[in-house]
């Protein structure tokens, strides 16, 4: 097949970085399915943005922490189109808290969604990718996975875990023509950062060598490259999109 027209699946794409990734993959010519946990209005906006490009879109409500929900989502994609050939794991949640007071629930929810969710989708996607002897997998981590973040031990642990997962999958599936990479964004302009206090924004801009927050489209451009034919010799890589924040880590 050509670089265009493959079946892509993006998790957590009702807004922010996930939406930009879904739109970028549609712009590259792919059919894009995506899932969302609860933001139905946002999912409709993402679907409309994809369809405005003249590409097929499929919006699915699914909790990636739930294995059965992941299986159903993949079955719907396969029934509508074909097996998934491009998988981007972007779904994530936060349950911030200082480690001394962090509950088991705060820890478990973040690990099950941010790390377990990626495991669930990769495991389900690989059966089709291995048969086709082709696949592109990109996991969205975070600069905090390398740097750590106070009040986010659960989030940083999950994001760091994605690096180990990515590199294990890359080694395991390389002989089948499947690549697996991880993208680690730094501070990115999203609805989440828009809600942060001004002093956080001042700190972030000062900590980033480029002196500004990044955009979701800048992340999406890197992900789209890693999902392309041109990136066929890139696997097991950690690609930062952080303005230099975590350089050297």
Strand partners, 60: 35
Q: Is 155 a catalytic residue?
A: yes
Judged on CB neighbours under 10 Å (0-12, 13-18, 19+), 219 is: buried
Residue of 36, 134, 155, 233 with catalytic role: 155
> Strand runs (DSSP E) across the chain, as ranges?
7-11, 31-36, 57-61, 86-89, 135-140, 178-185, 188-189, 214-215, 238-241
First to last CA, the chain: 37
Is 61 in a helix, a strand, or coil? Answer: strand
For the annotated catalytic residues, the residue numbers are 155
């Amino acid at each position: 097949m050509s670089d265009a027209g493959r079946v892509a699946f993006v998790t957590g794409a009702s807004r922010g970085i996930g939406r930009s990734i879904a739109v970028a993959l549609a712009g590259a010519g792919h059919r894009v399915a995506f899932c969302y946990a609860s933001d139905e209005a946002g999912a409709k906006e993402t679907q409309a943005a994809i369809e405005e490009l003249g590409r097929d879109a499929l919006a699915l409500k699914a909790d990636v922490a739930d294995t059965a929900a992941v299986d159903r989502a993949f079955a719907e994609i396969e029934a509508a189109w074909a097996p998934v050939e491009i998988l981007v794991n972007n779904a994530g949640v936060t349950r911030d808290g200082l480690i001394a007071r962090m509950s088991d629930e705060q820890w478990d929810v973040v690990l099950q969604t941010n790390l377990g969710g990626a495991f669930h989708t990769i495991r389900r996607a690989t059966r089709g990718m291995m048969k086709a002897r082709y696949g592109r997998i990109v996991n969205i981590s975070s600069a905090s996975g390398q740097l750590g973040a106070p009040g986010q031990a659960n989030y940083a642990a999950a994001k760091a875990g994605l690096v180990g997962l990515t590199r294990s999958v890359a080694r395991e599936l390389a002989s089948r023509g499947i690549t697996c990479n991880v993208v680690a964004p730094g501070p990115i302009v999203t609805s989440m950062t828009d809600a942060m206090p001004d002093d956080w924004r001042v700190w972030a801009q000062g900590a980033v060598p480029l002196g500004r927050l990044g955009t979701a489209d800048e992340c999406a451009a890197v992900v789209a490259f890693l999902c392309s034919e041109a990136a066929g010799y890139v696997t097991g890589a950690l690609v930062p999109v952080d303005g230099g924040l975590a350089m050297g880590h």
